[in-house]
Amino acid sequence: MKLPVLAVSLMLAFGTASAAPDLSPVKGKPFTWDNATVYFLLTDRFNNGDPSNDHAYGRKNDAAVARGFMGGDLAGVTAKIKEGYFTDLGVDAIWISPPVEQIHASTDEGTGVSYGFHGYWARDFTAVDANLGTEKDVRDLVEAAHARGIRVLLDVVMNHTGPVTAEDTVWPSDWVRTAPTCNFKDVKGTVDCALVKNLPDFRTDSNAKVDLPPFLVAKWKKEGRIDREVKELDEFFKRTGYPRAPRYYLMKWHADWVRKYGFDGFRGDTVKHTEPGVWKDLKKVASQAYEDWKRTPAGKEAVDKIGNVPFFMTAEVFGYSIANGRQFAYDDGTKVDYYANGFDSMINFSLPHDAGQGYEKLFSDYSNQLNGPLAGVTVLNYLDSHDDGNPFDAMRAHPFEEANKLLLAPGQAQVYYGDETARVLKIDGAVGDANLRSFMNWDQLRTNARVGLHGVAEVRDYWSRLGRFRHAHPAVGAGVHQMIASSPYTFKRTYEKNGVSDRVVVALGLPQDRTTPISVAGVFGDGQTVRDAYTGRTAVVSGGKVQFDTRAPVALISQD
């Protein structure tokens, strides 16, 4: 939906005067992961809260375009949490890129000199990368989010280490394989292999006992924590009975972030490149760590704000589509149910393509899947991300349509940092996925700079209104969809689960030269007063319809 100039002017006319509503949990409508709005950010590219840590470990400014560290850090994310930035967007959870210590040096994968700013090139899974901050910064971020009712997801890697450099030695051969490189033709060519050249693959298939890598032992001795780390590992293996195999070391290290800081869930990276059962075991270990954390003073305090829900995991299985239901098929036809292997949700890679469809086909198809083959689980929808080279709207020509199709689609919604501010996914001189990873466009937001036909502040205001409505109503993402009228396009969502009842009506593409009656028949009865969350206006239902006295491009209707 491309809004005309009049629509934008109307948004501005009442937008600045309309205060953001209270986003504390809605009485009678508790949080459910099935309706979650998840804000995904690359920590290094979001906000620089502490310029003193911009060049840790001797890293240099010699990277190719958009392939080096840019200064964003954990303190910068925390500052935005405290400002209310995420609250105003209706965000339920923040997914941060892996904060673990990365390889110190750079490498070249064929796209120029690159550093591990993204977090997927781990060197030490037990330490915070100094470019991003400290352990205190991690704790401050999670506690600040929890205090505002926001959960935090940790991105975890079970598949590979960081690349090998002159400074970053390879892990021992009983820990990793360095060949062959994956050919993706069958399960073996997808799992028992290195994703790309010089990206060592963890031997998650092995049950053989391994000792700590010598470089880690030396590092921990230098840092004065070798005794503590070894003692904790001994206790973990004694308690669980797991063999001292590579995957169980990794599980212990990942779960420690949950037990120590209170992360509420994991996003599993490169899931289809490991054995499915690895993730089921990780879920078990992490869930126990989460329950242990809940019993701490910080955990007890946080539960009062975020609710006492189980540990959550979503999967990145590259190529998975909501149309696949519970079965993902490898190229050789082998099928895996990842939902039965620890995951509550799977990232839906098909929305960037599906979003080219009309609203009704998109919404009804997704609702049918989620209330049919996928009943009891869900998908995490996105329109662009850090590594999908085919985003829905790279140049941000249609930011309002993008908001509608992401935030109003059945399922969970993943907002990639800058979706809400029309951050263009193209950088002059950048190659490949670097185009997707520019620094957050705070300056454009502050000055309301124009991107295409629209001002950035106006775009963000629109995303905020839809996001806050979604946050308040589980029916939006977790309810059953049904079209009410085709012109203006109007639909209802109804949610009845665990004693919670929620009903909403949404109308899109409303005329801008007049107000118009909207059908709410079968949802709200005559004489009932309903509210449009977009404008804040109320009206009384008459003859199965409702008409608000303020023109707006959409109506977000409920009986609050």
Task: Catalogue the active-site residues.
Answer: 269, 316
**Long-range contacts, 134-142 (Cβ 8 Å, 24+):** 137/50, 137/73, 137/74, 137/75, 137/78, 138/74, 138/99, 138/257, 138/261, 139/261, 140/74, 140/75, 140/78, 141/74, 141/75, 141/77, 141/78, 141/81, 141/96, 142/261, 142/262, 142/263
Q: Which candidate, 25, 252, 58, places its Cα nearest to that of 168?
A: 58
Vertex 184: Cα angle to 178 and 190 (nearest 5):
55
Q: Residue 33, by phi and psi: left (phi above 0), alpha (psi -120 to 50) or beta?
A: alpha
| Alpha carbons 438 and 384: distance in angstroms, whole number | 13
| Alpha carbons 450 and 192: distance in angstroms, whole number | 48
Residue 40: strand pairing partners: 95, 416
Q: Which amino acid is at 223?
A: E
Residues 6 or more apart whose CB falls under 8 angstroms from that of 184 comprise 190, 331
Helix boundaries (H) for 266-312: 276-294, 297-306
Vertex 71: Cα angle to 69 and 75 (nearest 5):
130
| Alpha carbons 342 and 234: distance in angstroms, whole number | 25
Residue pointed to by tokens 């490498």? 107
DSSP 144-167: HHHHTT-EEEEEEE-SB-PPP-SS
Pairing of strands 328-329, 312-315: unpaired
Vertex 183: Cα angle to 178 and 189 (nearest 5):
75
| Alpha carbons 66 and 97: distance in angstroms, whole number | 16
Structure letter (DSSP) for residue 229: H
| Per-residue burial over 507-521, b = 16 or more CB atoms within 10 Å of its CB, e = otherwise | bbbbebeebeebbbb
Would you call the peptide bond into 488 cis, given omega within 30 degrees of 0 as the criterion? yes
Q: Which candidate, 351, 320, 347, 346, places its Cα nearest to that of 335?
A: 320
- Find the radius of gyration of the CA atoms of the chain: 24
Contact 486, 420 (CB under 8 A): no
Task: Locate 412 and state its tokens.
Answer: 């969970």
| Alpha carbons 110 and 228: distance in angstroms, whole number | 40
For CA atoms 190, 191, 192, 193, the dihedral sign is positive
